[in-house]
């Protein structure tokens, strides 16, 4: 009888040890998957494919910009998926109001930042690439405006990349409608996780902008 009890005790102990080892293995495997699995929120996505109805007009890919020459050759607007998801919510809310977004600039290759600095070495409007890259080059910043249901741009304080005082958020030198439209854009962008800057009413960056590294052009989808 004592022998049977001892055998049962050993069996229970053995099963307990096996269960404990199995639990540890499962835990380690789960941790490994979490560490090694790609974070999809950091992937770069094409905004036209990701956000229904958004309009893309990349000014720096054409001559239609303040510099009168292309700054980069990319013909698609890319953002980190996490930032694109926030922008998607902005677009969805605007649609209810009969409005939408038009993107003028999104991801910007690091090489383009050097070109911009050569043309406009002014820290108010262009980040000095010798000191650090723009959040555009991290895939977490976007330049945009509002459009109506027909895709027509709403009246704003200035055009894109207007380096005058009309482009800032003072609004004392613009009319009430221009101010109201710019404030509407800023309000809804901030609501969904972006931040603004003073000198450019069209520029917004993800509030988590410093969490992401610079993206090289070769890292874009399909490259």
> Helix or strand or coil: residue 100?
strand
Known catalytic residue at 200: yes
Calpha distance 38→21 (Å, rounded): 28
Q: Where are the domains of the chain?
A: 1-37, 40-219
Calpha distance 173→122 (Å, rounded): 22
Q: Which of 200, 207, 218, 219 is catalytic?
A: 200
| The two three-digit tokens of residue 24, written as one number | 């540890």
Q: For residue 103, what are the β-bridge partners? A: 56, 144
Residue 119 confidence (pLDDT): 87
pLDDT single digits (tens) 76-99: 999 999 999 999 999 999 999 999
Place of tokens 């003072």: 170
| CATH code at 40-219 | 3.30.1380.10
Low-confidence ranges of the chain (pLDDT < 50): 3-5, 7-8, 12-16, 18-20, 22, 24-38
């Amino acid at each position: 009888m004592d022998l049977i009890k001892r055998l049962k005790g050993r069996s229970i102990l053995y099963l307990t040890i096996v269960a404990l080892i199995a639990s540890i293995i499962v835990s380690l495997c789960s941790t490994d998957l979490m560490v090694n699995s790609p974070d999809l929120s950091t992937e770069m996505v094409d905004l036209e494919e990701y956000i229904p109805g958004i309009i893309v007009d990349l000014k720096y890919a054409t001559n239609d910009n303040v510099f009168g020459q292309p700054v980069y050759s990319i013909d698609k607007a890319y953002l980190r998926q996490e930032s694109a998801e926030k922008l998607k919510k902005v677009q969805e809310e605007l649609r209810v109001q009969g409005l939408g977004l038009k993107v003028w600039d999104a991801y910007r290759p690091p090489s383009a930042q050097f070109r911009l600095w050569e043309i406009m070495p002014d820290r108010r409007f262009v980040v000095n690439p010798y000191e650090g890259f723009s959040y555009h080059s991290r895939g977490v910043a976007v330049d945009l405006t509002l459009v109506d249901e027909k895709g027509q741009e709403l009246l704003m304080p200035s055009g894109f990349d207007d380096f005058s005082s009309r482009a800032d958020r003072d609004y004392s030198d613009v009319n009430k409608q221009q101010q109201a439209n710019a404030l509407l854009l800023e309000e809804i962008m901030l609501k969904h996780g972006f931040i603004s800057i003073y000198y450019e009413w069209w520029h917004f960056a993800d509030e988590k902008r410093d969490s992401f590294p610079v993206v090289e052009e070769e890292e874009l989808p399909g490259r």
